[in-house]
Structure 1
Amino acid sequence: MDSPLVELRGATKRFPTGTGGTHTAVRDLTLTLRHGEFVAVVGPTGCGKSTTLSLVSGLEPASAGEVLVNGAPVRGIPAGVGYMFQNDAVLPWRSVLDNVAAGPRYRGTPKGKAREQAREWVRRVGLGGFEGYYPHQLSGGMRKRVALAQTLVNEPSILLMDEPFSALDVQTRALMQDELLRLWSGTGAAVVFVTHDLEESVALADRVVVMTSSPATVKATFDVPLERPRKVEQVRLTREFLEIYREIWDSLREEVEKAREEQANRVA
Protein backbone atom coordinates (compact mmCIF):
# COMPACT_ATOMS: atom_id res chain seq x y z
CA MET A 1 0.00 0.00 0.00
CA ASP A 2 1.21 3.53 -0.77
CA SER A 3 2.65 5.48 2.12
CA PRO A 4 0.39 8.30 3.38
CA LEU A 5 0.60 11.60 1.54
CA VAL A 6 -0.48 13.56 4.62
CA GLU A 7 -0.17 12.50 8.26
CA LEU A 8 -1.26 14.27 11.42
CA ARG A 9 0.17 12.53 14.48
CA GLY A 10 -1.30 13.80 17.72
CA ALA A 11 -1.34 17.34 16.31
CA THR A 12 -2.48 20.10 18.65
CA LYS A 13 -2.86 23.81 17.95
CA ARG A 14 -3.08 26.49 20.64
CA PHE A 15 -3.63 30.19 20.08
CA PRO A 16 -2.95 33.03 22.54
CA THR A 17 -6.03 34.87 23.79
CA GLY A 18 -6.44 38.57 24.46
CA THR A 19 -6.44 37.92 28.19
CA GLY A 20 -3.02 36.30 28.24
CA GLY A 21 -4.24 32.73 28.22
CA THR A 22 -4.40 30.16 25.44
CA HIS A 23 -7.20 28.67 23.38
CA THR A 24 -6.84 25.09 22.14
CA ALA A 25 -8.42 24.90 18.69
CA VAL A 26 -7.62 21.24 17.93
CA ARG A 27 -6.07 18.56 20.11
CA ASP A 28 -4.37 15.23 19.49
CA LEU A 29 -5.43 15.06 15.85
CA THR A 30 -4.45 11.79 14.20
CA LEU A 31 -5.38 11.50 10.53
CA THR A 32 -3.91 10.14 7.30
CA LEU A 33 -4.62 11.00 3.68
CA ARG A 34 -3.48 8.93 0.71
CA HIS A 35 -2.83 9.83 -2.91
CA GLY A 36 -6.03 10.32 -4.89
CA GLU A 37 -8.27 10.14 -1.81
CA PHE A 38 -11.17 12.54 -1.18
CA VAL A 39 -11.71 13.08 2.55
CA ALA A 40 -14.44 15.33 3.93
CA VAL A 41 -14.22 16.79 7.44
CA VAL A 42 -17.41 17.65 9.34
CA GLY A 43 -18.04 18.84 12.86
CA PRO A 44 -19.88 21.43 14.94
CA THR A 45 -19.53 25.08 13.94
CA GLY A 46 -16.35 26.60 15.35
CA CYS A 47 -14.82 23.30 16.44
CA GLY A 48 -11.52 23.78 14.57
CA LYS A 49 -12.08 22.19 11.17
CA SER A 50 -10.39 25.06 9.33
CA THR A 51 -7.45 24.93 11.73
CA THR A 52 -6.82 21.38 10.52
CA LEU A 53 -6.36 22.72 6.99
CA SER A 54 -4.04 25.44 8.28
CA LEU A 55 -1.81 22.80 9.87
CA VAL A 56 -1.59 20.75 6.67
CA SER A 57 -0.96 23.82 4.53
CA GLY A 58 1.79 25.12 6.80
CA LEU A 59 -0.03 28.41 7.36
CA GLU A 60 -0.03 27.55 11.07
CA PRO A 61 2.59 25.44 12.87
CA ALA A 62 1.44 22.73 15.26
CA SER A 63 1.88 23.54 18.96
CA ALA A 64 2.44 19.84 19.69
CA GLY A 65 2.51 16.60 17.73
CA GLU A 66 3.56 16.21 14.11
CA VAL A 67 2.25 17.14 10.67
CA LEU A 68 3.93 15.43 7.72
CA VAL A 69 3.49 15.78 3.97
CA ASN A 70 5.21 13.18 1.80
CA GLY A 71 6.90 11.90 4.95
CA ALA A 72 8.58 15.24 5.73
CA PRO A 73 7.64 17.48 8.68
CA VAL A 74 5.73 20.60 7.61
CA ARG A 75 7.95 23.62 8.27
CA GLY A 76 6.34 25.98 5.77
CA ILE A 77 3.94 25.71 2.86
CA PRO A 78 4.67 22.29 1.29
CA ALA A 79 5.16 21.97 -2.45
CA GLY A 80 2.08 20.82 -4.32
CA VAL A 81 -0.55 22.24 -1.96
CA GLY A 82 -3.53 24.11 -3.40
CA TYR A 83 -5.92 25.97 -1.09
CA MET A 84 -9.47 27.05 -1.97
CA PHE A 85 -11.01 29.28 0.68
CA GLN A 86 -14.61 30.00 1.59
CA ASN A 87 -14.17 33.51 0.21
CA ASP A 88 -12.67 33.37 -3.27
CA ALA A 89 -9.31 35.03 -3.81
CA VAL A 90 -9.96 36.53 -7.25
CA LEU A 91 -8.36 39.95 -7.74
CA PRO A 92 -10.94 42.53 -8.86
CA TRP A 93 -8.54 44.47 -11.08
CA ARG A 94 -7.54 41.40 -13.09
CA SER A 95 -9.46 39.65 -15.83
CA VAL A 96 -10.54 36.02 -15.53
CA LEU A 97 -7.57 34.93 -17.64
CA ASP A 98 -5.04 36.97 -15.68
CA ASN A 99 -6.44 35.78 -12.34
CA VAL A 100 -5.96 32.16 -13.38
CA ALA A 101 -2.53 32.84 -14.90
CA ALA A 102 -1.29 34.52 -11.70
CA GLY A 103 -0.32 31.25 -9.95
CA PRO A 104 1.90 29.90 -12.73
CA ARG A 105 3.46 33.36 -13.15
CA TYR A 106 4.35 33.49 -9.42
CA ARG A 107 5.99 30.09 -9.86
CA GLY A 108 8.21 31.41 -12.64
CA THR A 109 6.31 30.21 -15.70
CA PRO A 110 6.88 32.54 -18.68
CA LYS A 111 3.94 34.85 -19.36
CA GLY A 112 2.93 33.25 -22.66
CA LYS A 113 3.00 29.73 -21.24
CA ALA A 114 1.14 30.80 -18.09
CA ARG A 115 -1.63 32.40 -20.13
CA GLU A 116 -1.84 29.28 -22.31
CA GLN A 117 -2.27 27.09 -19.23
CA ALA A 118 -4.80 29.53 -17.79
CA ARG A 119 -6.82 29.61 -21.01
CA GLU A 120 -7.07 25.81 -20.95
CA TRP A 121 -8.29 25.76 -17.35
CA VAL A 122 -10.76 28.57 -17.97
CA ARG A 123 -12.19 26.41 -20.72
CA ARG A 124 -12.21 23.30 -18.53
CA VAL A 125 -14.24 25.00 -15.79
CA GLY A 126 -16.81 26.10 -18.36
CA LEU A 127 -15.87 29.76 -18.74
CA GLY A 128 -14.61 29.73 -22.32
CA GLY A 129 -15.47 33.10 -23.83
CA PHE A 130 -15.26 34.91 -20.49
CA GLU A 131 -11.46 35.24 -20.41
CA GLY A 132 -11.60 39.05 -20.68
CA TYR A 133 -14.33 39.56 -18.07
CA TYR A 134 -13.63 41.03 -14.63
CA PRO A 135 -14.89 39.58 -11.31
CA HIS A 136 -17.61 42.24 -10.87
CA GLN A 137 -19.11 41.09 -14.18
CA LEU A 138 -19.49 37.48 -12.99
CA SER A 139 -22.13 35.66 -10.95
CA GLY A 140 -21.20 33.97 -7.67
CA GLY A 141 -21.05 30.58 -9.37
CA MET A 142 -18.81 31.91 -12.13
CA ARG A 143 -16.45 33.43 -9.57
CA LYS A 144 -16.22 30.03 -7.88
CA ARG A 145 -15.31 28.50 -11.23
CA VAL A 146 -12.52 31.06 -11.55
CA ALA A 147 -11.32 30.20 -8.04
CA LEU A 148 -11.37 26.50 -8.91
CA ALA A 149 -9.36 27.14 -12.07
CA GLN A 150 -6.91 29.28 -10.06
CA THR A 151 -6.30 26.34 -7.77
CA LEU A 152 -6.17 23.51 -10.30
CA VAL A 153 -4.00 25.29 -12.87
CA ASN A 154 -1.06 24.68 -10.52
CA GLU A 155 -1.72 20.90 -10.63
CA PRO A 156 -1.70 20.42 -6.85
CA SER A 157 -1.11 16.99 -5.37
CA ILE A 158 -3.03 18.08 -2.25
CA LEU A 159 -6.18 20.16 -2.58
CA LEU A 160 -7.41 21.82 0.60
CA MET A 161 -10.96 23.21 0.41
CA ASP A 162 -12.53 25.23 3.22
CA GLU A 163 -16.32 25.32 2.71
CA PRO A 164 -15.77 26.61 -0.84
CA PHE A 165 -19.42 26.39 -1.95
CA SER A 166 -21.21 27.43 1.25
CA ALA A 167 -22.21 30.90 -0.02
CA LEU A 168 -23.85 29.59 -3.22
CA ASP A 169 -27.54 28.95 -3.77
CA VAL A 170 -28.69 25.33 -3.75
CA GLN A 171 -28.80 24.84 -7.52
CA THR A 172 -25.45 26.49 -8.20
CA ARG A 173 -23.89 24.58 -5.33
CA ALA A 174 -24.96 21.24 -6.80
CA LEU A 175 -23.53 22.24 -10.18
CA MET A 176 -20.20 23.20 -8.59
CA GLN A 177 -20.05 19.93 -6.64
CA ASP A 178 -20.46 17.98 -9.87
CA GLU A 179 -17.89 20.23 -11.53
CA LEU A 180 -15.39 19.59 -8.76
CA LEU A 181 -15.81 15.82 -9.05
CA ARG A 182 -15.44 15.97 -12.82
CA LEU A 183 -12.27 18.07 -12.71
CA TRP A 184 -10.72 16.15 -9.81
CA SER A 185 -11.32 12.72 -11.36
CA GLY A 186 -8.13 11.31 -12.83
CA THR A 187 -5.83 14.00 -11.43
CA GLY A 188 -4.51 11.79 -8.62
CA ALA A 189 -4.79 14.73 -6.23
CA ALA A 190 -5.79 14.12 -2.63
CA VAL A 191 -8.58 16.36 -1.31
CA VAL A 192 -9.38 17.51 2.22
CA PHE A 193 -12.80 19.15 2.05
CA VAL A 194 -14.11 20.97 5.13
CA THR A 195 -17.87 21.47 5.17
CA HIS A 196 -20.72 22.03 7.62
CA ASP A 197 -23.07 20.21 5.21
CA LEU A 198 -23.22 16.47 5.89
CA GLU A 199 -25.07 15.75 2.63
CA GLU A 200 -22.28 17.46 0.70
CA SER A 201 -19.61 15.45 2.50
CA VAL A 202 -21.27 12.09 1.78
CA ALA A 203 -22.00 12.95 -1.85
CA LEU A 204 -18.39 13.96 -2.57
CA ALA A 205 -16.04 11.97 -0.37
CA ASP A 206 -14.42 8.55 -0.10
CA ARG A 207 -14.21 9.01 3.68
CA VAL A 208 -15.98 11.33 6.10
CA VAL A 209 -14.16 12.36 9.28
CA VAL A 210 -16.34 13.50 12.18
CA MET A 211 -14.73 15.97 14.58
CA THR A 212 -15.71 16.46 18.21
CA SER A 213 -16.92 19.72 19.69
CA SER A 214 -14.19 22.24 20.51
CA PRO A 215 -11.33 21.64 21.00
CA ALA A 216 -11.66 19.30 18.06
CA THR A 217 -10.18 15.88 17.70
CA VAL A 218 -11.17 13.01 15.42
CA LYS A 219 -14.21 11.22 16.85
CA ALA A 220 -14.89 8.73 14.05
CA THR A 221 -14.11 8.01 10.40
CA PHE A 222 -16.65 6.55 7.97
CA ASP A 223 -16.00 5.00 4.56
CA VAL A 224 -18.37 6.06 1.77
CA PRO A 225 -18.60 3.05 -0.59
CA LEU A 226 -20.65 4.81 -3.27
CA GLU A 227 -19.50 4.09 -6.81
CA ARG A 228 -17.74 6.68 -8.94
CA PRO A 229 -18.29 8.58 -11.12
CA ARG A 230 -21.06 10.27 -9.14
CA LYS A 231 -23.75 12.79 -9.98
CA VAL A 232 -24.51 14.59 -6.76
CA GLU A 233 -28.26 15.02 -7.18
CA GLN A 234 -28.69 11.42 -8.32
CA VAL A 235 -26.60 9.80 -5.59
CA ARG A 236 -28.52 11.68 -2.88
CA LEU A 237 -31.68 9.80 -3.82
CA THR A 238 -30.22 6.32 -3.37
CA ARG A 239 -30.86 4.00 -0.42
CA GLU A 240 -27.10 3.56 0.08
CA PHE A 241 -26.63 7.31 0.47
CA LEU A 242 -29.39 7.58 3.07
CA GLU A 243 -28.00 4.67 5.09
CA ILE A 244 -24.51 6.19 5.20
CA TYR A 245 -25.95 9.63 5.99
CA ARG A 246 -27.96 8.33 8.95
CA GLU A 247 -24.97 6.46 10.35
CA ILE A 248 -22.70 9.51 10.22
CA TRP A 249 -25.42 11.87 11.50
CA ASP A 250 -25.90 9.70 14.60
CA SER A 251 -22.24 10.37 15.44
CA LEU A 252 -22.21 14.03 14.41
CA ARG A 253 -25.47 14.92 16.18
CA GLU A 254 -23.98 14.14 19.59
CA GLU A 255 -21.17 16.63 18.99
CA VAL A 256 -23.51 19.32 17.65
CA GLU A 257 -25.67 18.99 20.78
CA LYS A 258 -22.59 19.20 23.03
CA ALA A 259 -21.44 22.35 21.21
CA ARG A 260 -24.87 23.95 21.67
CA GLU A 261 -24.88 23.14 25.37
CA GLU A 262 -21.38 24.58 25.81
CA GLN A 263 -22.38 27.75 23.95
CA ALA A 264 -25.51 28.12 26.09
CA ASN A 265 -23.48 27.71 29.28
CA ARG A 266 -20.99 30.36 28.15
CA VAL A 267 -23.80 32.81 27.40
CA ALA A 268 -25.48 32.07 30.74
Structure 2
Amino acid sequence: MSSPLIELIGATKRFPSGSGSVHTAVRDLDLAVAPGEFVAVVGPTGCGKSTTLSLISGLQPASAGQVKVNGQPVTSIPDGVGYMFQTDAVMPWRSVLDNVASGPRFRGASKAEARKQAADWIERVGLAGFEKYYPHQLSGGMRKRVALAQTLVTKPAIMLMDEPFSALDVQTRALMQDELLRLWSGSGAAVVFVTHDLEEAIALADKVVVLTTSPATVKDVFAVDLPRPRKVEELRITEDFLRIYREVWESLRVEVEKARRKGTADVA
Protein backbone atom coordinates (compact mmCIF):
# COMPACT_ATOMS: atom_id res chain seq x y z
CA MET A 1 0.00 0.00 0.00
CA SER A 2 1.37 3.40 -0.98
CA SER A 3 1.30 6.28 1.48
CA PRO A 4 -1.83 8.43 1.23
CA LEU A 5 -1.54 11.48 -0.98
CA ILE A 6 -4.38 13.14 0.97
CA GLU A 7 -5.02 12.62 4.69
CA LEU A 8 -7.61 14.13 6.98
CA ILE A 9 -7.06 13.07 10.59
CA GLY A 10 -9.73 14.14 13.07
CA ALA A 11 -10.36 17.21 10.91
CA THR A 12 -12.95 19.65 12.25
CA LYS A 13 -14.17 22.91 10.75
CA ARG A 14 -16.18 25.50 12.66
CA PHE A 15 -17.72 28.70 11.27
CA PRO A 16 -19.26 31.65 13.10
CA SER A 17 -22.99 31.75 12.39
CA GLY A 18 -25.13 34.81 11.80
CA SER A 19 -26.62 34.52 15.29
CA GLY A 20 -23.25 34.83 16.97
CA SER A 21 -22.96 31.13 17.75
CA VAL A 22 -20.56 28.65 16.13
CA HIS A 23 -21.59 26.19 13.42
CA THR A 24 -19.58 22.97 13.13
CA ALA A 25 -19.59 21.87 9.48
CA VAL A 26 -17.41 18.75 9.77
CA ARG A 27 -16.20 17.01 12.93
CA ASP A 28 -13.46 14.44 13.56
CA LEU A 29 -13.25 13.62 9.85
CA ASP A 30 -10.86 10.81 8.90
CA LEU A 31 -10.18 10.27 5.21
CA ALA A 32 -7.26 8.90 3.18
CA VAL A 33 -6.85 9.05 -0.60
CA ALA A 34 -4.04 7.23 -2.38
CA PRO A 35 -2.25 8.51 -5.50
CA GLY A 36 -4.33 7.70 -8.57
CA GLU A 37 -7.43 6.84 -6.53
CA PHE A 38 -10.90 8.10 -7.44
CA VAL A 39 -12.95 8.78 -4.30
CA ALA A 40 -16.56 9.95 -4.38
CA VAL A 41 -18.07 11.68 -1.35
CA VAL A 42 -21.83 11.56 -0.75
CA GLY A 43 -24.04 12.70 2.10
CA PRO A 44 -27.19 14.67 2.91
CA THR A 45 -27.60 18.19 1.57
CA GLY A 46 -25.64 20.71 3.63
CA CYS A 47 -23.69 18.10 5.59
CA GLY A 48 -20.23 19.50 4.82
CA LYS A 49 -19.12 17.80 1.60
CA SER A 50 -17.90 21.03 -0.02
CA THR A 51 -16.23 22.05 3.25
CA THR A 52 -14.21 18.84 3.05
CA LEU A 53 -12.88 19.90 -0.37
CA SER A 54 -12.09 23.36 0.99
CA LEU A 55 -9.95 21.82 3.74
CA ILE A 56 -8.00 19.68 1.26
CA SER A 57 -7.48 22.62 -1.10
CA GLY A 58 -6.25 24.94 1.63
CA LEU A 59 -9.00 27.44 0.90
CA GLN A 60 -10.19 26.93 4.49
CA PRO A 61 -7.96 26.02 7.45
CA ALA A 62 -9.06 23.26 9.79
CA SER A 63 -10.26 24.40 13.22
CA ALA A 64 -8.90 21.21 14.76
CA GLY A 65 -7.24 18.01 13.63
CA GLN A 66 -4.86 17.59 10.70
CA VAL A 67 -5.07 17.93 6.93
CA LYS A 68 -2.06 16.67 4.96
CA VAL A 69 -1.19 16.56 1.27
CA ASN A 70 1.90 14.57 0.31
CA GLY A 71 2.63 14.11 3.98
CA GLN A 72 2.84 17.85 4.64
CA PRO A 73 0.35 19.90 6.68
CA VAL A 74 -1.90 22.03 4.47
CA THR A 75 -1.32 25.69 5.35
CA SER A 76 -2.10 27.18 1.93
CA ILE A 77 -3.14 25.91 -1.50
CA PRO A 78 -0.85 22.91 -2.16
CA ASP A 79 1.06 22.56 -5.41
CA GLY A 80 -0.54 20.29 -7.96
CA VAL A 81 -4.19 20.81 -7.01
CA GLY A 82 -6.86 21.35 -9.65
CA TYR A 83 -10.35 22.44 -8.58
CA MET A 84 -13.50 22.06 -10.71
CA PHE A 85 -16.52 23.84 -9.25
CA GLN A 86 -20.26 23.34 -9.68
CA THR A 87 -20.47 26.66 -11.52
CA ASP A 88 -18.17 27.29 -14.46
CA ALA A 89 -15.00 29.14 -13.50
CA VAL A 90 -14.51 30.42 -17.05
CA MET A 91 -13.76 34.06 -17.76
CA PRO A 92 -16.49 35.38 -20.08
CA TRP A 93 -14.25 37.98 -21.71
CA ARG A 94 -11.71 35.36 -22.81
CA SER A 95 -11.87 32.88 -25.67
CA VAL A 96 -11.86 29.13 -25.07
CA LEU A 97 -8.15 29.04 -25.94
CA ASP A 98 -7.21 31.83 -23.56
CA ASN A 99 -9.39 30.43 -20.76
CA VAL A 100 -7.58 27.10 -20.91
CA ALA A 101 -4.19 28.79 -21.34
CA SER A 102 -4.67 30.90 -18.20
CA GLY A 103 -3.51 28.12 -15.84
CA PRO A 104 -0.14 27.55 -17.51
CA ARG A 105 0.31 31.33 -17.82
CA PHE A 106 -0.24 31.78 -14.06
CA ARG A 107 2.42 29.11 -13.51
CA GLY A 108 5.00 30.94 -15.56
CA ALA A 109 4.66 29.47 -19.05
CA SER A 110 5.20 31.80 -21.99
CA LYS A 111 2.12 32.86 -23.94
CA ALA A 112 3.11 30.65 -26.87
CA GLU A 113 3.77 27.59 -24.68
CA ALA A 114 0.56 28.12 -22.68
CA ARG A 115 -1.49 28.32 -25.85
CA LYS A 116 0.21 25.20 -27.21
CA GLN A 117 -0.71 23.26 -24.07
CA ALA A 118 -4.23 24.69 -24.13
CA ALA A 119 -4.78 23.72 -27.77
CA ASP A 120 -3.72 20.15 -26.98
CA TRP A 121 -6.23 19.86 -24.13
CA ILE A 122 -9.00 21.56 -26.09
CA GLU A 123 -8.59 18.84 -28.68
CA ARG A 124 -8.53 16.12 -26.02
CA VAL A 125 -11.86 17.26 -24.55
CA GLY A 126 -13.46 17.32 -28.01
CA LEU A 127 -13.58 21.08 -28.64
CA ALA A 128 -11.14 21.37 -31.56
CA GLY A 129 -12.45 24.13 -33.82
CA PHE A 130 -13.94 26.12 -30.93
CA GLU A 131 -10.71 27.76 -29.76
CA LYS A 132 -11.84 31.27 -30.73
CA TYR A 133 -15.36 30.97 -29.30
CA TYR A 134 -16.41 32.76 -26.11
CA PRO A 135 -18.26 31.10 -23.20
CA HIS A 136 -21.63 32.70 -24.08
CA GLN A 137 -21.44 31.02 -27.50
CA LEU A 138 -21.15 27.53 -26.00
CA SER A 139 -23.69 25.05 -24.66
CA GLY A 140 -23.62 23.99 -21.01
CA GLY A 141 -21.88 20.74 -21.90
CA MET A 142 -19.26 22.54 -23.96
CA ARG A 143 -18.53 24.95 -21.12
CA LYS A 144 -18.01 21.95 -18.83
CA ARG A 145 -15.51 20.60 -21.36
CA VAL A 146 -13.68 23.93 -21.18
CA ALA A 147 -13.67 23.71 -17.38
CA LEU A 148 -12.35 20.14 -17.56
CA ALA A 149 -9.56 21.24 -19.90
CA GLN A 150 -8.76 24.13 -17.52
CA THR A 151 -8.42 21.63 -14.67
CA LEU A 152 -6.34 19.07 -16.55
CA VAL A 153 -4.01 21.34 -18.54
CA THR A 154 -1.82 21.90 -15.47
CA LYS A 155 -1.48 18.11 -14.97
CA PRO A 156 -2.68 18.16 -11.35
CA ALA A 157 -1.71 15.42 -8.92
CA ILE A 158 -5.03 16.04 -7.14
CA MET A 159 -8.37 16.87 -8.76
CA LEU A 160 -11.07 18.27 -6.47
CA MET A 161 -14.50 18.24 -8.10
CA ASP A 162 -17.54 19.81 -6.44
CA GLU A 163 -20.68 18.55 -8.22
CA PRO A 164 -19.21 19.59 -11.56
CA PHE A 165 -21.94 18.00 -13.71
CA SER A 166 -25.03 18.64 -11.58
CA ALA A 167 -26.45 21.41 -13.82
CA LEU A 168 -26.32 19.32 -17.00
CA ASP A 169 -29.16 17.37 -18.57
CA VAL A 170 -29.11 13.60 -18.14
CA GLN A 171 -27.66 12.75 -21.56
CA THR A 172 -24.94 15.41 -21.45
CA ARG A 173 -24.08 14.44 -17.90
CA ALA A 174 -23.51 10.81 -18.90
CA LEU A 175 -21.26 11.92 -21.76
CA MET A 176 -19.21 14.12 -19.44
CA GLN A 177 -18.86 11.29 -16.91
CA ASP A 178 -17.44 9.04 -19.64
CA GLU A 179 -15.20 11.89 -20.81
CA LEU A 180 -13.86 12.44 -17.30
CA LEU A 181 -13.04 8.75 -16.89
CA ARG A 182 -11.30 8.65 -20.28
CA LEU A 183 -9.15 11.71 -19.54
CA TRP A 184 -8.39 10.73 -15.94
CA SER A 185 -7.38 7.15 -16.84
CA GLY A 186 -3.62 6.83 -16.78
CA SER A 187 -3.09 10.35 -15.46
CA GLY A 188 -2.09 9.16 -11.99
CA ALA A 189 -4.18 11.95 -10.43
CA ALA A 190 -6.11 11.39 -7.23
CA VAL A 191 -9.71 12.58 -7.47
CA VAL A 192 -12.07 13.63 -4.69
CA PHE A 193 -15.50 14.02 -6.29
CA VAL A 194 -18.43 15.45 -4.35
CA THR A 195 -21.89 14.59 -5.66
CA HIS A 196 -25.52 14.25 -4.60
CA ASP A 197 -26.03 11.56 -7.25
CA LEU A 198 -25.31 8.11 -5.82
CA GLU A 199 -25.37 6.48 -9.26
CA GLU A 200 -22.74 8.96 -10.45
CA ALA A 201 -20.60 8.26 -7.39
CA ILE A 202 -20.61 4.50 -7.93
CA ALA A 203 -20.12 4.69 -11.70
CA LEU A 204 -17.01 6.85 -11.38
CA ALA A 205 -15.25 5.95 -8.16
CA ASP A 206 -12.93 3.34 -6.69
CA LYS A 207 -14.57 3.93 -3.33
CA VAL A 208 -17.58 5.85 -2.04
CA VAL A 209 -17.39 7.70 1.28
CA VAL A 210 -20.72 8.28 3.05
CA LEU A 211 -20.83 11.28 5.38
CA THR A 212 -23.28 11.67 8.24
CA THR A 213 -25.75 14.49 8.59
CA SER A 214 -24.21 17.78 9.77
CA PRO A 215 -21.78 18.06 11.42
CA ALA A 216 -20.31 15.57 8.98
CA THR A 217 -18.03 12.73 9.87
CA VAL A 218 -17.29 9.56 7.92
CA LYS A 219 -19.99 6.96 8.46
CA ASP A 220 -19.01 4.27 5.95
CA VAL A 221 -16.53 3.63 3.15
CA PHE A 222 -17.55 1.27 0.33
CA ALA A 223 -15.13 -0.24 -2.18
CA VAL A 224 -16.45 -0.17 -5.75
CA ASP A 225 -15.11 -3.41 -7.20
CA LEU A 226 -16.24 -2.77 -10.76
CA PRO A 227 -13.75 -3.29 -13.59
CA ARG A 228 -12.22 -0.45 -15.58
CA PRO A 229 -12.45 0.96 -18.19
CA ARG A 230 -16.12 1.78 -17.60
CA LYS A 231 -18.96 3.02 -19.78
CA VAL A 232 -21.34 4.74 -17.40
CA GLU A 233 -24.66 3.98 -19.09
CA GLU A 234 -23.77 0.33 -19.66
CA LEU A 235 -22.53 -0.05 -16.10
CA ARG A 236 -25.73 1.22 -14.46
CA ILE A 237 -27.79 -1.77 -15.55
CA THR A 238 -25.40 -4.49 -14.39
CA GLU A 239 -26.21 -6.64 -11.37
CA ASP A 240 -22.90 -5.80 -9.70
CA PHE A 241 -23.67 -2.06 -9.96
CA LEU A 242 -27.13 -2.55 -8.49
CA ARG A 243 -25.70 -4.64 -5.65
CA ILE A 244 -23.28 -1.87 -4.66
CA TYR A 245 -26.00 0.75 -5.07
CA ARG A 246 -28.27 -1.07 -2.62
CA GLU A 247 -25.47 -1.39 -0.06
CA VAL A 248 -24.45 2.27 -0.22
CA TRP A 249 -28.02 3.57 -0.37
CA GLU A 250 -28.94 1.66 2.80
CA SER A 251 -26.23 3.61 4.63
CA LEU A 252 -26.95 6.94 2.96
CA ARG A 253 -30.74 6.66 3.32
CA VAL A 254 -30.52 6.73 7.11
CA GLU A 255 -28.55 9.99 7.03
CA VAL A 256 -30.88 11.58 4.47
CA GLU A 257 -33.86 10.76 6.69
CA LYS A 258 -32.07 12.21 9.75
CA ALA A 259 -31.34 15.41 7.83
CA ARG A 260 -34.96 15.65 6.70
CA ARG A 261 -36.25 15.24 10.26
CA LYS A 262 -33.75 17.79 11.51
CA GLY A 263 -34.81 20.25 8.81
CA THR A 264 -38.47 19.80 9.70
CA ALA A 265 -37.71 20.35 13.38
CA ASP A 266 -35.70 23.51 12.60
CA VAL A 267 -38.56 24.93 10.55
CA ALA A 268 -41.08 24.05 13.25
What TM-score do the two structures reach when normalised by structure 1?
1.00
Structure 1 position 7, deviation (Å): 0.2
Instruction: Report deviation, 1:19.
Output: 1.9
In structure 2, the residue matched to 1:85 is: 85
Structure 1 runs of 4+ off > 4 angstroms?
Answer: none
> For residues 110 and 57 of structure 2, what CA distance do their matches in structure 1 show?
26
What CA distance in whole angstroms lies between the structure 1 residues aligned with 2:210 and 2:20?
A: 31
Say which SS state the counterpart of residue 59 (structure 1) adopts: coil
2:194 aligns with 194
User: Structure 1, residues 22-72: CA drift from partner, whole Å, max 9, x if none?
Assistant: 000000000000000000000000000000000000000000000000000
Aligned to 1:18: 18
Deviation at 1:2, TM superposition (A): 1.1
SS in 2 for 1:208: strand
Unmatched 5+ stretches in structure 1: none
Q: In structure 2, what is the equivalent of residue 204 of structure 1?
A: 204
Secondary structure of 2:116's partner? Answer: helix
Q: Give the match's secondary structure for 1:119.
A: helix
What is residue 218 of structure 2 aligned with on the other side?
218
What corresponds to 1:32 in structure 2? Answer: 32
The aligned residue for residue 259 of structure 2 is: 259
User: Could you say which residue in structure 2 is the equivalent of 1:135?
Assistant: 135
Distance 2:18 2:201 in 1: 34
Q: Report Cα offsets for 1:88-117 as digits up to 9, x if no partner.
A: 100000000000000000111011000000
Q: Distance in 2 between matches of 1:147 and 1:63?
A: 31
Letter in 1 for 2:159: L
Q: Structure 2: how far apart are the matches of 1:233 and 1:201?
A: 13
Deviation at 1:127, TM superposition (A): 0.0
CA distance in structure 2 between the aligned counterparts of 1:19 and 1:172, rounded to whole angstroms: 41
Root-mean-square deviation (CA), in Å?
0.4
Deviation at 1:176, TM superposition (A): 0.1
In structure 2, the partner of 1:120 is 120
SS at match of 1:222: strand
* 1:97-150 deviation line (CA, Å, top 9, x unaligned): 000000000111011000000000000000000000000000000000000000
Q: CA deviation at 1:251?
A: 0.2
The 1-side partners of 2:19 and 2:264 are apart by 22
In structure 1, what is the Cα distance between the partners aligned to 2:162 and 2:261?
A: 25
What does residue 8 of structure 1 align with? 8
* Aligned equivalents of 1:57, 1:180: Cα separation in 2: 20
- Structure 1 position 179, deviation (Å): 0.1
Identity over aligned residues, as a percent? Answer: 76
Deviations 1:178-230 (A, max 9, x none): 00000000000000000000000000000000000011000000000000000
Q: Does 1:106 align with 2:94?
A: no
Counterpart secondary structure, 2:94: coil
Count of residue correspondences? 268
TM-score (norm 2): 1.00
1:43-62 counterparts in 2 under 5 A? 43-62=43-62
- Residue 18 (structure 1) shift: 1.7
Aligned to 2:232: 232
CA distance in 1 between counterparts of 2:18 and 2:267 reads 19
Q: Deviations over 1:207-259 (max 9, x none)?
A: 00000001100000000000000000000010000000000000000000000
Instruction: Give secondary structure in 2 for the equivalent of 1:243.
Output: helix
Distance 2:197 2:114 in 1: 35
